[in-house]
Amino acid sequence: MSIDTESYETLSIEQDGPVLRVWLDRPERRNAVDELVLIELGDLFAELETQFQVRVAVLGGRGPAFCAGFDRKAVSITSGREEPVGARERRWLSQVGRRACRAIEEAEVVTVARVHGYAVGGGLCLALSCDFRVAEKTAFFELPEVELGLPLSWSATPRLVHEIGAARARELILLGSRITAEEGEPWGLVHRAVEPSDLDAAVEEVVAALATRPELAVHMTRTQLRSLARQASSGDISETDGDLVTLARRDPETRRRFGWNGGD
């Protein structure tokens, strides 16, 4: 059974033998993500558990950038309903980002992020969830959440600490420092930082190496690495990070910085 590549509204999907190429496909919004994008990402990467013909999934973005983060102008998919959304569904929607990142992280295939332009906020969270990150050396990364009055969510804090260490994670999260892929390569934020003209070739080099190695050994090794990564989130409160964001959204200062002067 193959993936229905036409069933996703916000993603474009190309299957090339053992390689699945997944594109965030909202170039007019710089691939900023909303609830629907995150739900579709979560569904797609969860589906890979039984897509045994796929060995590597590449996540990229159409247009000028990988991902501009969460779409501040997004309209909730629950808008327009006659009846108010219940508390459980509201909480479920508050966790869609965490579930999307978790689905990428726990996908039963090796994942590679192809980053160009920039990966900001939630865009960095998505790239960070992939096993490998290959980027244009001039692409930049930034986490503006704290500056906007929100805690970093989507389970990104323990993931970032595991990948680059606590000191550098504080630099990115609390100070909101903007760094290029070239600067982030020694940190481990990216695995390859290359000239823009070499990006696709560098991605293909990583993909080819992964797709041609013994399948079972790759899969079992990735399982071991994923298990070790979970230790970084021991005691993590990310199961409730959607609740924290919901609470922060009610803060007047946060609302001012986001330009939310009316209702949610």
Q: How far apart are CA 136 and CA 117, in angstroms?
A: 7
Tell me what percent of the residues of the chain surpass a pLDDT of 90.
72
Number of domains in the chain: 1
pLDDT at 107 over 90: yes
Confidence of residue 26 (pLDDT cuts 50, 70, 90): very high
Helix (H, G, I), strand (E, B) or coil at 222: helix
Residue-averaged pLDDT of the chain: 89
Mean pLDDT of 124-142: 98
Mean pLDDT of 90-119: 93
Higher pLDDT, 100 or 77: 100
Q: How far apart are CA 264 and CA 257, in angstroms?
A: 14
Angle at 211 between CA 115 and CA 46, to 5 degrees: 65
The predicted-structure confidence for 199-234, as pLDDT tens digits, reads as follows: 999 999 999 999 999 999 999 999 999 888 877 665
Residues 92 and 145: beta-carbon distance below 8 Å: no
Does 206 fall in a domain? Answer: no
Task: Please name which of 137, 172, 136 lies closest in space to residue 152, comparing C-alpha atoms.
Answer: 172
Task: Please name which of 129, 189, 182, 181 lies closest in space to residue 159, comparing C-alpha atoms.
Answer: 129
Amino acid at 183: E
- What is the CATH number for 112? 3.90.226.10
pLDDT at 127 over 80: yes
Does 204 fall in a domain? Answer: no
Residues 25 and 10: beta-carbon distance below 8 Å: yes
Q: Please report the pLDDT score of residue 230 as a whole number.
A: 74
Dihedral sign, CA of 148, 149, 154, 159? positive
Mean pLDDT of 4-14: 92
Q: Please report the pLDDT score of residue 233 as a whole number.
A: 60
Tokens of 17: 């033998």
Q: Which domain holds residue 242?
A: 11-72+89-197+212-258
pLDDT at 143 over 50: yes
The predicted-structure confidence for 212-221, as pLDDT tens digits, reads as follows: 999 999 999 9
The predicted-structure confidence for 73-85, as pLDDT tens digits, reads as follows: 776 654 444 454 6
pLDDT at 59 over 70: yes
Does 83 fall in a domain? Answer: no
Does 264 fall in a domain? Answer: no
Residues 23 and 11: beta-carbon distance below 8 Å: yes
Mean pLDDT of 93-109: 92
Q: How far apart are CA 197 and CA 5, in angstroms?
A: 28
Residues 113 and 59: beta-carbon distance below 8 Å: yes
Does 79 fall in a domain? Answer: no
Does 205 fall in a domain? Answer: no
Does 49 fall in a domain? Answer: yes
pLDDT at 264 over 50: no
Does 236 fall in a domain? Answer: yes
